[in-house]
Amino acid sequence: MSEYMQSFNARALVYILVDCKGGDVASKLLQSSCEINVNDVFSSPVIETQQMHRLVNLCVSRKGLGYQRMLEFACNATAQSLGLVGSIVISSRTIRSALAALQAFSAIVDPGSKMTARVATSGNMILSFRPASIEKGIRDVYLFGNAAVAHNVMHALTGVEQSGAIISIPCSPPENWSRFNSSFTRNVKFVPGESAGHLEVPARLLDRHCVAGDPEARAIAMRAVEPWLQMAAHEKVFSELVCRHLTMAIPANLNLAAVAELMSTTERTLRRRLEREDTSFQRLKNTTMVEIAINLAAASVDQSAAAKRLGKESHHFGKWFRDKTGYKYGNPP
């Protein structure tokens, strides 16, 4: 079954290709290399994920725009390149809920480079982006694009370029790096030995209110994004968003009403959405809290600190953990 993604980034690339090569040449290149009709790109809100990857591959090649120009294009990516997801993220109430939405809805933007998220023992939130099933030749373009979006999102959420967030890319600096988007380049570090790119946001920023936070705008964007969920390779996006809010909250013991408020919806609507995904809030909460507890134990976090992280009484936590996992906290099988 085909996977789809929003087509606005494809349109931007086609515009550049047409400007660089001319309309007729660009049209022939798109048809022969990508099986893409120019008119379809501008008339349809979606494009097949594989077609998009072929389009990027074409643009990176010498007969397209070339690798260097594509990297420069990627480094200028902004939160607007996320479309409706960008609207949800930027209008969130807090930075924590904004990043939870960014991670959970990433499959809509591009199923091939889905993000993962975790909260470090320091309390910092770490979002990781690792392009999946993407040819090596265009991997860096996706990594730089994701990193640039992460930088721009943090700028939009905090109102400052130097927010304190750390962005890392698992490769070496490209040629002429100093000529690229200077705002972005000042906030990036290169870690060639890593397997994924990361956005690490300090714990002190997570509960700050977003500069452009707007509950009404977020609720409208959440409703508008629902049709896209049917095209996201059957991802259980609302289930994932609930799990992300539970994972990123400190303590994690949120109830349905609190999570519904973070998602700019009502308890009734959220309950119905989860039923459509064959689950329930309590089931997701139980699973998520056990996963968090296991990860804390694996990281050698003190039992009392783990109990506090999960919003549980310290003297009850040990028995709860043993009942859920079958082994004693700190003593894995």
Domains of the chain: 4-65 (no CATH), 79-206 (no CATH), 236-325 (1.10.10.60)
Its sign, for the CA torsion 217, 97, 133, 111, is: negative
Strand pairing of 188-190 and 197-201?
unpaired
Closest listed residue to residue 288, CA positions, set 326, 236, 324, 314: 324
How large is the angle between the packed helices 67-75 and 8-21, nearest 10 degrees?
A: 140
Buried b (16+ CB within 10 A) or exposed e, 308-327: bbbebeeeebbebbeeeeee
pTM: predicted TM-score of the whole model, two decimal places: 0.76
Q: What are phi and psi of 6, to 5 degrees?
A: -65, 150
> Helix or strand or coil: residue 175?
coil
pLDDT at residue 274 in the model: 92
How do the pLDDT tens digits run along the chain, 333 residues long? 456 666 767 777 787 777 777 878 888 888 888 888 878 777 777 777 778 778 878 887 877 777 777 777 777 778 877 878 888 899 998 898 898 888 877 766 665 566 788 777 788 888 888 766 566 667 788 888 888 888 999 999 999 888 889 999 888 888 777 777 667 777 788 888 888 889 999 989 998 999 998 988 888 888 787 776 655 544 677 888 888 888 877 777 789 998 888 777 889 989 998 998 899 999 999 998 898 888 888 888 888 888 888 888 888 898 999 999 888 888 776
DSSP category for residue 64: T
pLDDT at residue 1 in the model: 47
Query: At a CB cut-off of 8 Å and minimum separation 6, what does 293 contact?
Result: 306, 310, 321, 324, 325, 329
Cα 157 from Cα 154, distance rounded (Å): 5
DSSP category for residue 79: G
Closest listed residue to residue 199, CA positions, set 243, 142, 154: 154
Cα 314 from Cα 303, distance rounded (Å): 8
Q: Return the number of other C-beta atoms located less than 10 Å from residue 19's C-beta.
A: 11
pLDDT at residue 56 in the model: 79
Cα 288 from Cα 8, distance rounded (Å): 34
pLDDT at residue 158 in the model: 94
pLDDT at residue 38 in the model: 79
